[in-house]
Amino acid sequence: MADDSLRIICGPTAAGKSSIALELAERHGADILSADSRQIYKRFDIGTAKPSRDERARVQHFGVDIVDPAERYSAARWAREADEWISESRAAGKIPLVVGGTGFYIRALVEPLADSPVFDTAQRLTIGSELEQLSTEDLRRWCRLLDPARAELGRTQLLRAIETALLSGKRLSEFHAAAPRLQPRSARFLVVDRGPALQERIAQRIDAMFAAGWVDEVRELAKDVSSSAPAWMSSGYSTVRALARGEIDFDAAREKILIETRQYAKRQRTWFRHQIGGTTVTHVDASSPDAPRIIEKWWNDGS
């Protein structure tokens, strides 16, 4: 590589990012840094589509299984730790390869943000227990009133924005805007998508998760993970928990998760379309016959 630009593979869920990253990592001697706000949580495995034990044995993965389910985790913290993983990878003679669909994590790494303000734990728990009862769309409506600049982000970011506004009387976007900016990091992106075919890919992935024992995993988690733990906000888990408790039948649960996941993928597409751009971005349909050539060219020269 002619420069020190960081290679980043991103795009909507189920598009095929991980398989591309694993193949590149094995071929070129890279370590994978997961930019996924769900895979950070220990024990939440099936529904977060974590890399398998075999895949993690074949290639070093950072950013997976790093915090307990009850622990809150910010994009700024992930970016700080990712800096350490990048240094560790390069010191070992490897190439760091960032892979994931959590756009806010990726932006925090490329365009560093100040960390979020710290509040009293008891106050956070009181407000958090109330907010957790709201649907994501209800949270989005609240956020449009309290902090419009953050209203199109994911559920975790919506909760943090509302919490900050209520506890501090100031918008989280204002905290970030007022904070000193660190030097942006040079990066080049491979945006992976599958167009209309992604709809069916999402359905197939959900079916595979159920076949792999997602309901049993949730039953085990529910035995000792608090119902208010942030990890339960991972896509689909609250619905599977309702299914495990008999509050909803399988067909209704599957349909609900399918709709939510497709909506999430749509928001991811929108984010990546508007938040990254320019000559450092390559787009690829992983199912295209020309995909291997495009991917290899991106790896070698970024175009």
**pLDDT tens by residue, 123-142:** 766 787 788 888 889 999 99
95 and 37: one domain?
A: yes
Q: How confident is the model at residue 237 (pLDDT cuts 50, 70, 90)?
A: very high
Distance CA 59, CA 72 (A): 27
Lowest mean pLDDT of 12-16, 168-172, 189-193, 295-299, name the range. 168-172
Residue 8 has pLDDT above 90, yes or no: yes
Residue 1 has pLDDT above 50, yes or no: no
Helices and strands (H and E) in the chain: how many: 13, 6
- For residues 134 and 279, the model is more confident at 134
Tokens 């733990």 appear where? 229
Dihedral angle sign, alpha carbons of residues 228, 159, 265, 262:
positive
Residue 47 has pLDDT above 90, yes or no: yes
Q: Tens digits of per-residue pLDDT, 203-232?
A: 999 999 999 999 999 999 999 999 989 999
Query: What's the predicted TM-score (pTM) here?
Result: 0.79
Burial of 136 (0-12, 13-18, 19+ CB in 10 A): middle
105 and 207: one domain?
A: yes
Q: Tens digits of per-residue pLDDT, 60-83?
A: 999 999 999 999 888 888 999 999
Classify residue 1: in a domain, yes or no. Answer: no
12 and 153: one domain?
A: no
**Chain center to CA of 255:** 22
Cα–Cα nearest to 69, from 35, 102, 36, 42: 42
Q: How far is CA 147 from CA 135, 164, 171, in A?
A: 17, 9, 6
Classify residue 102: in a domain, yes or no. Answer: yes
Dihedral angle, C-alpha 91, 71, 12, 296, nearest 10 °: 10
**Strand, coil or helix: 153:** coil
Residue ending a domain, choose from 178, 200, 226: 178
Cα–Cα nearest to 30, from 2, 55, 61: 61
Cα–Cα nearest to 12, from 198, 176, 212: 198
Classify residue 294: in a domain, yes or no. Answer: yes
Q: How confident is the model at residue 2 (pLDDT cuts 50, 70, 90)?
A: very low
| Residue 129: per-residue pLDDT | 74
63 and 148: one domain?
A: no
| Residue 158: per-residue pLDDT | 87
- Helix then strand then coil, in percent of the chain rounded to 5, is 55, 10, 35
- For residues 182 and 47, the model is more confident at 47
The kind and range of the H/E element at 193 are strand 187-193
107 and 226: one domain?
A: yes
279 and 167: one domain?
A: no
Q: How confident is the model at residue 192 (pLDDT cuts 50, 70, 90)?
A: very high
Residue 114 has pLDDT above 60, yes or no: no
Q: How confident is the model at residue 19 (pLDDT cuts 50, 70, 90)?
A: very high
Structural domain that includes position 132: 121-178
- The separation between the first and the last C-alpha atoms of the chain, rounded to the nearest angstrom, is 12
Q: Which positions ≥6 away from 80 have C-beta within 8 Å? A: none
CA 131, 217, 267: angle at the middle one, nearest 5?
Answer: 50
Task: Provide the number of structural domains found in the chain.
Answer: 2
| Residue 122: per-residue pLDDT | 66
Classify residue 273: in a domain, yes or no. Answer: yes
96 and 228: one domain?
A: yes
**Strand, coil or helix: 211:** helix
285 and 230: one domain?
A: yes
35 and 159: one domain?
A: no
